[in-house]
Amino acid sequence: MPPATTRFAPSPTGLLHLGHAHAALFAHRAAAGGRFLLRLEDIDRTRCRPEFAEALLEDLAWLGLSWEQPVRVQSRHFPDYAAVLAGLRARGLLYPCFCTRAEIAASASAPHGPEGALYPGTCRGLSPAQRDAKVAAGLPYALRLDMAAALRAVPGPLCFEEAGEGRLRCDPAGFGDVVLARKDTPASYHLCVCHDDALQGVTLVTRGVDLKPATQLHRLLQALCGWPQPAYAHHGLLLGPDGRRLAKRDQAPTLRALRQAGRTPAEVRVLAGFPD
Ligand code: GLU
């Protein structure tokens, strides 16, 4: 196998903690002899902050990592994502959804998929005239994938290659009519991550196992858009001393705090599960 192109793709919503260091070192290690990229997934302008982006570049360099330049910063590329959305919409694969969160929650008897309650499809059935009237009235809308139409548009079945497991079968239908552009964010994580992995020539996607279900949807988007299919290696999540997953909300130690407490990069790499 030729050496891989991998990436670490954090969202600058806070300071990096040991779990991020584990993910970054995992991706870096997997690129051995190949290319290692860094991408800032900062499309959510309400949660991402430039100061966290700056801090994470500094923390990763302190940890001893280096990456190819330039770093792709997703928020600078909204027109790229808009063009993909326009293409999917022109093929009848997306529709505008005017429902509020409250309206969707009210139909809570709906079955659940990997990302919570499945959208009941209310706006899928609107006529073009009804849609136009709502848009003209200035109602904000999200863009949803018409899952049934999308599945008809790709030659099935979809699979992906997982390190150590082989070929795994995908069932993206479980996501229902997933949102690909939100009312307040013009593109979704799912769309941007697939677009950028293709654009940047990523051949091996490494990320936490919590995102493994999403790969089924990503394979569908790749097939719909004609993007190449990377291989995948989903890694386990670093657990805290209490056995729970490290996360910002649990006040996991940040790389910055460890550094300020006098830990060396080598010591932090050990704590992050990469002793050599
Ligand atoms: N930006 C995502 C996160 O911070 C990672 C996406 C990915 O690696 O596919 O969780």
> Does ligand 1 come within 6 angstroms of the Cβ of 196?
no
> Does ligand 1 come within 6 angstroms of the Cβ of 207?
yes
Is position 149 within any domain?
yes
Look at 63-77, 202-216, 237-251 and tell me which has the smallest mean pLDDT: 237-251
Coil, strand or helix at 172: helix
Q: What is the mean pLDDT of residues 150-178?
A: 95
Nearest protein Cα to ligand 1, atom 6: 9
Q: What is the mean pLDDT of residues 142-163?
A: 96
SS (H, E, C) 209-258: HHHCCHHHHHHHHHHHHCCCCCEEEEECCCECCCCCECCHHHCCCEHHHH
Shared-domain flag, residues 108 and 181:
yes
> Does ligand 1 come within 6 angstroms of the Cβ of 19?
no
> Does ligand 1 come within 6 angstroms of the Cβ of 9?
yes
User: Could you tell me the CA-to-CA distances from 215 to 33, 139, 168, 219, 233 in Å, in that order?
Assistant: 25, 32, 10, 6, 11
**Res. 61: pLDDT tops 70:** yes
* Cα(266)–Cα(253) distance, integer angstroms: 16
Q: What is the mean pLDDT of residues 219-239?
A: 96
DSSP state of 124: G
pLDDT given at position 196: 98
Is position 48 within any domain?
yes
Please tell me the total count of domains within the chain: 2
pLDDT given at position 110: 65
CATH code at 243?
Answer: 3.40.50.620
Nearest to 238 by CA among 227, 253, 224, 223: 253
Is position 22 within any domain?
yes
Is position 247 within any domain?
yes
Q: What is the mean pLDDT of residues 144-173?
A: 96
Question: What is the domain extent for residue 140?
Answer: 78-192
Look at 116-120, 214-218, 229-233 and tell me which has the smallest mean pLDDT: 116-120
Shared-domain flag, residues 84 and 167:
yes
Q: Which residues, including other chains, have CB under 8 Å from residue 258's CB and lie 6 or more apart?
A: 18, 267, 268, 271
Is position 205 within any domain?
no
Q: Tell me: the pLDDT tens digits for 11-38? A: 999 999 999 999 999 999 999 989 999 9
Percent of the chain with pLDDT over 90: 82
pLDDT given at position 238: 85
Shared-domain flag, residues 83 and 187:
yes
Ligand 1 centroid from CA 139, angstroms: 30
Q: Give the nearest ligand 1 atom to 39 CA.
A: 1
Mean pLDDT taken over the chain: 93
**Res. 98: pLDDT tops 60:** yes
> Does ligand 1 come within 6 angstroms of the Cβ of 173?
no
Q: Which of 193, 212, 216 to mutate to test the pocket of ligand 1 (most atoms within 8 A of CB)?
A: 193
> Does ligand 1 come within 6 angstroms of the Cβ of 11?
yes
Ligand 1 centroid from CA 51, angstroms: 19
Is position 216 within any domain?
no
Q: How far is CA 237 from the centre of its chain?
A: 16
Q: Looking at 124, 159, 192, which one is the last position of a domain?
A: 192
Nearest protein Cα to ligand 1, atom 3: 10
CATH code at 179?
Answer: 3.90.800.10
Shared-domain flag, residues 242 and 185:
no
Q: Which of 7, 15, 22, 41 to mutate to test the pocket of ligand 1 (most atoms within 8 A of CB)?
A: 41
